């Protein structure tokens, strides 16, 4: 009885632990989904505000907004291209590592541009703009190089796979159109070939054929030595018709009379 109670208690504890584990996993997954949704919404709001600031505030403030928007767009496109293709191509892991290092410089530049937006000294911002623009071009150029290299690699693999698939389809199409039978020993529908007869069997066959021919000749000779009546197999003799019994037609000439023929 005590053993059964202990087993039931152990099972209850296991069920409780499993429930807690599942609940924690579900809460973490929901938290990740919420965080992802919040981050995406925040990015959308920031991008919209940057576009509005770019057109609504000309000058250094609008140029700062344009630089930030260009940086965010280029880095986000590169991130999507690399992480999207990494599931199919494991060789992009090194490229992803390089992009993460580049992302650190991108975040640093974005933070600096954000701080300059709140800077009241417009002259200082104007003196810093060439340097910031040069850093931005360097970062975006590196990001574009990684992005287009990954896209070219994926397109090359797709072209190679398409070419191989086209060759296989051409071969299969040719095989489907080739309906002429080939005399192949491995063909299961090939007619069986009789093996050649050996010497003794061939001699026996030839002897049997000669015996059959001799028997037929003997029967023919025996039939001819009986009586003058034709054999049943012989065709009946053809008797010439009497000209006097033939019907006459008006377009025919009268038959010529010979001597001794009564008129």
Whole-number Å distance between alpha carbons of 134 and 6: 72
Cα gap 79→146, rounded to integer Å: 9
Residues 227-237 pLDDT 10s:
444 445 555 54
Cα–Cα distance between 217 and 215 in angstroms, integer? 5
Q: What is the pLDDT of residues 4-34, one digit of tens each?
A: 778 888 888 888 888 888 888 888 888 777 7
Asked whether the beta carbons of 75 and 47 are under 8 A apart, the reply is no
pLDDT tens track for 82-128: 988 888 888 888 999 999 999 999 999 999 998 988 888 888 888 88
Residue 135 CB partners (closer than 8 Å, separation 6+): 105, 109
In angstroms, the CA 70 to CA 132 distance is: 12
* Tens of pLDDT, residues 133-161: 999 999 999 999 999 999 998 888 889 99
Residue 77 in this model has a pLDDT that exceeds 60: yes
CA-nearest of 239, 240, 244, 241 to 261 is: 244
Question: Sign of the CA dihedral 11, 16, 22, 28?
Answer: negative
Q: What is the dihedral of CA 136, 142, 144, 148, to 10 degrees?
A: 180
Contact 68, 113 (CB under 8 A): yes
Phi-psi region of 121 (alpha: psi -120 to 50; beta: other; left: phi over 0): beta
pTM: 0.54
Where does 178-233 have alpha helices with state H? 199-224
């Amino acid at each position: 009885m005590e053993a059964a109670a202990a087993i039931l208690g152990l099972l209850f504890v296991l069920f409780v632990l499993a429930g807690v584990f599942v609940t924690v996993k579900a809460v973490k997954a929901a938290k990740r989904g919420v965080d992802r949704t919040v981050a995406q919404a925040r990015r959308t709001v920031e991008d919209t505000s940057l576009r509005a600031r770019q057109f609504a505030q000309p000058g250094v403030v609008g140029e700062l907004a344009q630089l930030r928007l260009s940086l965010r767009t280029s880095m986000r496109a590169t991130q999507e291209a690399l992480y999207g293709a990494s599931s199919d191509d494991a060789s992009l892991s090194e490229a992803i590592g390089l992009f993460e290092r580049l992302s650190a410089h991108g975040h640093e530049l974005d933070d600096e541009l954000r701080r300059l937006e709140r800077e009241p000294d417009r002259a200082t911002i104007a003196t810093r703009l060439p340097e910031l623009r040069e850093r931005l071009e360097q970062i975006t150029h590196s990001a574009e190089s990684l992005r287009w290299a990954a896209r070219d690699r994926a397109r090359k693999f797709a072209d190679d796979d398409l070419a191989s698939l086209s060759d296989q389809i051409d071969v299969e199409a040719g095989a489907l159109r080739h309906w002429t039978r080939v005399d192949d020993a491995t063909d299961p529908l090939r007619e069986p070939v009789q093996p050649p007869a050996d010497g003794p069997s061939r001699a026996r066959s030839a002897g049997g054929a000669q015996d059959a021919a001799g028997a037929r000749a003997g029967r023919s000779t025996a039939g001819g030595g009986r009586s003058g009546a034709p054999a049943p197999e012989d065709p009946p003799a053809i008797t010439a018709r009497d000209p006097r019994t033939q019907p006459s037609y008006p377009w025919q000439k009268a038959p010529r009379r010979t001597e001794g023929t009564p008129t």
